[in-house]
Amino acid sequence: MGCSASLPDRSSSGRLVGPNSENGGASDAKNLRVKLVLLGDSGVGKSCIVLRFVRGQFDPTSKVTVGASFLSQTIALQDSTTVKFEIWDTAGQERYAALAPLYYRGAAVAVIVYDITSPDSFNKAQYWVKELQKHGSPDIVLALVGNKADLHEKREVPVQDGIEYAEKNGMFFIETSAKTADNINQLFEEIAKRLPRPAVSSTQNP
């Protein structure tokens, strides 16, 4: 490529960089791009929440997630901004936590999911909250989600517990059901509303 003649000088090149996804939220004020990571114990329904949100489907016998899987979905807000969620759905088993930093690093949003019928999964959720408070981006938006709300007769984690814990940690809390699609869209819309909007000038330069 004979492009040497038109090479810009080094100092200006940094500004020309387009989608630097340091915070996963770099984009213009009207079209946000957001890296979102789902964390939580195995089998709480992380993949089901994503599938419900992105494809509108629910499969009671979904596959085990190995490592992580990726899906993206764009929603439009009332103020005519669009938000493109780049969703990393991680594996739930404890030992995969070793790989989690790979996915939550640089994420603008972390959705921590537990199963309202399983106190263990609620404990696990608290572990993830602590880990993210320590090692996530400082301005990360945290959401605590109690899934499987349709199984209320088997409930073992009271709503109040979730609300209190979320309040204490400055998180957004919601109970959802991927099975009935209850609150799934609301979850992502609420998250979108809470995102820090980029300033008008989006230049970031060392």
For the bound state, the minimum distance from the C-beta of residue 2 to another protein, rounded and expressed in Å, comes to 8
Between helices 119-135 and 159-168, what is the axis angle to 10°? Answer: 10
Q: Which two tokens stand for residue 182?
A: 């209850």
Separation CA 71–CA 64 (nearest Å) = 16
Q: Which of residues 1-40 bind another protein (CB under 8 A)?
A: 1, 3-4, 6-8, 10, 13-14, 16-22, 24, 33, 35
DSSP output for 11-58: HHHHHH-----TTS--S-SSEEEEEEEEEESTTSSHHHHHHHHHH---
Interface pick for another protein out of 55, 56, 57, 67 (rule CB under 8 A): 67
Separation CA 129–CA 133 (nearest Å) = 6
What is the CB neighbour count within 10 angstroms for residue 54?
Answer: 16
In degrees and rounded to multiples of 5, residue 82 shows phi and psi of -115, 145
Closest C-alpha among 158, 149, 146, 139 to residue 179:
149
Report if residue 66 touches another protein, rule: CB under 8 A: yes
* Nearer Cβ to another protein (11/201): 11
For another protein, what does the binding mask look like between residues 85 and 114, x meaning CB under 8 A?
-x-x--xxxxxxxxx-xxx-xx--------
Interface pick for another protein out of 75, 81, 82, 84 (rule CB under 8 A): 84
> Binding segment for another protein among 68-76, 160-168, 174-182, 185-193 (CB under 8 A)?
68-76
Report if residue 202 touches another protein, rule: CB under 8 A: no
Report if residue 134 touches another protein, rule: CB under 8 A: yes
Q: Are 111 and 36 in contact (CB under 8 A)?
A: yes
Interface pick for another protein out of 82, 131, 151, 163 (rule CB under 8 A): 131
* Nearer Cβ to another protein (68/163): 68
**Which chain residues interact with another protein by CB under 8 A?**
1, 3-4, 6-8, 10, 13-14, 16-22, 24, 33, 35, 42-43, 59, 61-72, 84, 86, 88, 91-99, 101-103, 105-106, 131, 134-135, 206
